[in-house]
Amino acid sequence: MTIPADSIESMHQLTVAWRAAVLDRNPHGDVRDLPGIAVRWADCQFPIWNCIALTDIAPDATLVAEHLNRAADIMRTKTFPGLVAVFEDLLTADARTALSSAAERAGLDHAFSGTGMAADPLPAPGPDHPDLTFVRVRTEAQLRDYADLNSRAQDFPLEAGRDGLTGSALRKTRVHAYLGLRDGVPVTCAATTETAGRLFVMLVATDPRWQRRGYGAAVTRKALHEGAKATGLTRATLHATPAGAPVYARMGFKPNSPIHFYGLRTERPGERSTT
């Protein structure tokens, strides 16, 4: 079988970007590259920074099951929850068919799905949004605002986002992170960072009270534009939620591999663990 190059790129972008993010949050974070899986685990309250990605190219169903079992075993040793990321395009046909049952046997529940996307050339910056002014994230107060927007958009406790993002050195230097302000109040945010020769878009969020006004697209264009000016890069990648994918498609991003995310199953009352 032929694996699309964009799908392989999408998986590599996650493993490279998350390694930097984990070590920024926790210099002693777990960033092991094991056979078939990449552990990127800060073990913090912000679950996005706790991830294990399957990395084999064209593994069959048996090998995928082995990797999911090992990933679940690693997750059970951690303090805070996180996710396993599986890039569908990288799997053989039999592995795709058996993925759900293999995850269930490993003690994993499907959390959500998304898709990898890439744009080359970068989308034109477009006009500034008439409602917004943009500021680059430099201070701890701005990092806290950025964290709180992500927490509200993803329905995390505020302390979880702050645990993952405040104190970050990257977001004040190498990451081009921007807040979009409406009447001086942060309502949206986005960031880009150089990742293995690409601009990787990450942590785009809009306050739920201000969604569906084009704010997320506007601040993403700002982060892309400034990141491209600083780095000279012309290709961008991202991992989109189902809600975000149409927005990025209108900006010129094209989809590649579907991505399936799984969380460790928690015991229900009266349920006995089999591990």
Name which of 73, 24, 12 is nearest 49 in CA terms.
24
> Is 188 within 8 Å of 149 (Cβ atoms)?
yes
**Omega before residue 123 within 30° of 0, cis:** no
pLDDT at 1: 81
User: Whole-prediction pTM value?
Assistant: 0.94
Residues 6+ apart with CB under 8 A from 1: 58, 92, 93
Which domains occur in the chain, in start order?
Answer: 5-115+258-264 (no CATH), 133-234 (3.40.630.30)
35-84 pLDDT, tens per residue? 999 999 999 999 999 999 999 999 999 999 999 999 999 999 999 999 99
Q: Please, what is the average pLDDT of the chain?
A: 95
Instruction: Label residues 87-122 b or e (16+ Cβ within 10 Å = b).
Output: bbbbbbeebbebbeebbeebbbeeeeebbbbbbeeb
Give yes or no for residue 216 having a pLDDT over 90.
yes
Strands 37-41 and 33-34: antiparallel
% residues pLDDT > 90 (the chain): 92
